[in-house]
Structure 1
Amino acid sequence: MKQALSLILLGLGLSASAQDFSITGTVKGVENGKVYLQRFSNKMFFTIDSAEIKDGKFRFSQKPALPELYGITLKPESSPYFIFLEDKPVTVALDSAAYYSKTTVTGSPSQDLFTQYRQTRDVNVSEFIMQNPASLVSAYVLYRDFSYRLSADEIDANVKLLDPSLSETQYVKVLRGLTPVLRSADVGKKAPDFTLPGVNGETVKLSDHFGKYVLLDFWASWCGPCRRENPNLVKVYHQYKGKGFDIVAVSLDKQKDNWLKGIADDKLEWTHASDLAFWNSAPAALYGIRAIPGNVLIGPDGTIIARNLRGEELREKLATLFQ
């Protein structure tokens, strides 16, 4: 009977193992409660299923879209544990400690590759892709960890290294859409204009600040590296604001209270605006911002003269401009 079923499934272009997909697991330190399965999209996770924890064990019965990156979490509002799922049974030993740091996953070759990637330093993304051209992990790594530091031409070249089977994944689609945006907002191009609500609901229009050197800064109150860079911005703002320098900050926050508190706590006295849309921020998409902190330095005539200057690089550039 099993052999007959396998032949039928193969005739349909399926495999017997595909019908056996499941996610089962245990939760260390938790006997009862719920565990949530979340799908990844545009650097955000969205809950699609939940399972009861009984005597420290759980099982998801609903089959999600595969293969894909998902998250497993005990708290839907917190960061999940990343897990690459394939069309085969997966077993999860979920560690309930902070960041699920000792969680283990068995049964997913993609997860094994992702774990290996995260343990490797100084990864050359092109070499990684050439070694794993058909793996979803390669497309994700290029999208998530390298797109923000590569030029449009470099992104295009690396996308071509990926197997055609990945062309319809969300990662390749985003990368292909990103390259024309980066070219339109590159150094030497006119800065794309936009309007956003300010902290008091007023309209903030970027081009109203042209006529000075303007640093268009992308940040968020939840972003640790952004908060660590803010003291440097405060210093250069006070040093050059009387000489024709301005900052317009766009926040990728979700909660207005957190955004306003971050502004107050870090003493950020320049113009602020946000659509409170997190990674769906319209100006971030307009400028191809895939990681924060990120910034664009705009000349008095509205032309982009530099991107992603931070720390000493920003100080040296401004010193050159205003000497």
Structure 2
Amino acid sequence: MRTFIVILVCLFVGVSCQNKPQYTIDGKISGNADGMKVLLNKLGDTGSTFVDSTFIKDGKFVFEGVVDEPAYYSIMIDRTPQGEVSSEKYMTNSQFYLENSPISFSGNIDSLPSYFWSKKPRKQAQITGSGTEDLYQKYLAIGEKQGSELSRLNDEYLQKYHIPSMDGIFNKKEGIEISRKMEVLRKQLAEIKWNFVKENIQTVVGYDLAKQYFQDMYVRITPEQIDELEVLVDQAWPNTTKASEFKAMAEKGKRVAVGTKYSDIELVNPDGKKVKLSEYVPEGKYVMLEFWASWCGPCRGEIPHLREVYKEYKDKGFEIVSISIDRKDQDWKKAMKEENMVWTQLNDPGEFEGPVTQVYNIMGVPTCILLDKEGHIFKTDMRGAQLDAVLEEIYD
């Protein structure tokens, strides 16, 4: 009898082990790909983490393992030519949600998306078997029409406004017309995302999309919307790390959300004196905070347009406060003189470790924030004709 029980226990343990959920990725790659290395990486808020690797044989590869919950991963195939040093520029890069299920991955080695941008048309890998990935693809499909049109308009904007502006030619009328069409589409996409997030916050996809609101320099939702999301996350993910992490991101995001009062910080004026930003933000005027640096090519490329804008609207109550993040005082002042920047100039010598980064979440330059007459954040991320369109609506 005892022997019989032991046998039953062993059988039960064996069956349990066999039934433990795991993922199996069966990859099929067409084209001349045999011998190429395949990497599986987990993607996170701060970068990617290596998980596993294998090689393509007879056009196939396999990954097996276990994940605690569905999460975002990437499969990269190293196409480095023989004799060359392996580099990301030769890598394909396919991203998807991985979960514990049988997953199929297929594509052509010559057309899979590249790690870096490529002029050559690319085709996404066919990935099936992950319900979480299916949900994410459903979200992308909802806004596909608007996204495609936005991409087309962006190309048109580059040709008709941005490229000529680099030579000092500002096709303002055409640029504003295109910018307004793009803004309509952006608002439609924002509404699609907001509704999807609220309806799917209990899923990893919905939660990840909610986090995206705070992973960019610009928080494009209001403090009231942030509060609503906090409640939804607490209800969907009670007493979890996800809930606590989201709360921390949300509290930080409220400082730079549209509708929030600007934060006062200490800066340095051209005379070397420490001053407060509030000394240069008068009530009753729209004020643009322009964050830049002397070493930043795109920043300096924007300045000719800012000169035109300031000249046109300064007498109507528009102010610009340029805030440099140059560490070296002489570099900042040299660039100011070269660019003939006749509006208010301040400096945060801490570069990306100073109050500009800590308070305003500045991750790169150029960056701009437009304050309304009461000092609330009104618009963000405005360039070229997009800024022209906003100022025309305000003053003309």
Read off the aligned partner of 2:289 and give its amino acid letter. L
The answer to whether the 8 Å contact 2:263/2:359 transfers is: no
Max Rg structure: 2
SS at match of 1:117: helix
Greater mean deviation of Cα atoms: 77-86 or 312-321:
312-321
What residue in structure 1 maps to residue 289 of structure 2? 215
Please name the residue that 1:297 is paired with: 370
Residue aligned with 2:280, SS: coil
Q: What is the TM-score normalised by the length of structure 1?
A: 0.64
Which SS does the other structure have where 1:112 is aligned?
helix
Residue 144 (1) aligns with residue 212 (2):
yes
Q: For residue 23 of structure 1, what is the aligned residue in structure 2? A: 25
Conservation of the 8 A alpha-carbon contact between 1:218 and 1:250: yes
Q: Does the 8 A contact of 2:348 with 2:355 survive in 1?
A: no
Aligned residue for 1:22, secondary structure, equals strand
* Equivalent pair of 1:93/1:105 in contact (CA under 8 Å): yes
**Aligned partners of 2:106 and 2:340: how far apart in 1?**
44
- Give yes or no for contact 2:348–2:354 (8 Å, CA) kept in 1: no
Contact persistence 2:369–2:380 (CA under 8 A): yes
Match of 1:114 in 2: 136
Tell me if 1:247 matches 2:322: yes
Deviation for aligned residue 1:273:
8.3
Where do 1:31-180 residues align within 5 Å?
A: 31-42=34-45, 44-75=47-78, 77=88, 80-96=93-109, 97-99=111-113, 101-121=123-143, 122=189, 124-129=192-197, 131-144=199-212, 148-162=219-233, 164-165=236-237, 168=240, 173-180=244-251
Shift of 1:138: 0.9
Hey, what's the Cα distance between the residues in 1 that align with 2:252 and 2:55? Answer: 44
Counterpart in the other structure of 2:261: 189
Deviations 1:157-209 (A, max 9, x none): 13433563487465x555422322233345563435488xxxxxxx9x99589
Q: 1:142 to 1:249 in 2, by over 3 A?
A: farther
| Alpha-carbon offset, residue 300 of structure 1 | 12
Percent of aligned positions with the same letter in both sequences? Answer: 18
- Cα pair distance change 1:39/1:294, threshold 3 Å: farther
Tell me, yes or no, if the aligned pair for 1:191 and 1:304 is still in contact at 8 Å: no
Please say if residues 213 and 221 of structure 2, whose CA atoms lie closer than 8 Å, have aligned partners that are also in contact: no
How many angstroms apart in 2 are the aligned matches of 1:126 and 1:69? 20
- With over 3 angstroms needed to count, the CA separation of the structure-2 counterparts of 1:38 and 1:274, relative to structure 1, is farther
Kindly state the Cα deviation for residue 110 of structure 1 after the two structures are TM-superposed: 0.5
* Structure 1 residue 136, shift from structure 2 partner: 0.7
CA-to-aligned-CA distance 1:202-239 (integer Å, 9 cap, x gap): x9x995896375524489x9xxxx96x98665402454
Higher relative contact order (CA 8 A, sep 6+): 1
More helix by percentage: 2
Shift, 1:292, TM fit: 9.1
Report SS of the residue matched to 1:105. Answer: strand
3-state SS in 2 of match to 1:82: strand
Task: Indicate yes or no: 2:319 matched with 1:308.
Answer: no
Match of 1:255 in 2: none
Displacement, 1:117?
A: 1.2
For the 8 Å contact 1:216–1:250, the answer to whether it is kept is no
Q: Which residue of 1 aligns with 2:330?
A: none
Contact 1:216–1:296 at 8 Å: present in 2 too?
A: yes
Quick one: which amino acid aligns to residue 80 of structure 1? N
| Number of residue pairs aligned between Structure 1 and Structure 2 | 287
Q: Tell me, in whole angstroms, the C-alpha distance in 2 between the residues paired with 1:268 and 1:107.
A: 59
Aligned-pair distance for 1:146? 8.4
Does structure 1 retain, via aligned residues, the 8 Å contact 2:72–2:98?
Answer: yes
TM-score under structure 2 length normalisation:
0.54
Distance 1:284 1:56, change over 3 A: farther
- Residues 185, 211 of structure 1: CA spacing in aligned structure 2 closer, same or farther, 3 A cutoff? same
Rounded to whole Å, the distance in 2 between the matches of 1:58 and 1:281 is: 47
Return closer, same or farther for 1:292/1:211 CA change in 2, 3 Å cut-off.
closer
Secondary structure at 1:150 match in 2: coil
Alpha carbons 2:23, 2:65 under 8 Å: kept:
no
Give SS of 2:368's match: strand
1:271-282 matches, cutoff 5 A = none
Q: Deviations over 1:44-101 (max 9, x none)?
A: 4343332222232222245455321111122573683221011223221144325262
**RMSD (Å), alpha carbons:** 5.1
Tell me what 1:200 maps to: none
| SS of aligned partner of 2:88 | coil
Q: What is the CA–CA distance in structure 2 between the aligned matches of 1:268 and 1:101, rounded to whole Å?
A: 47
SS at match of 1:155: helix
Pair 189,127 (structure 1): closer, same or farther in 2 beyond 3 Å: closer
Q: Secondary structure at the match of 1:295?
A: strand
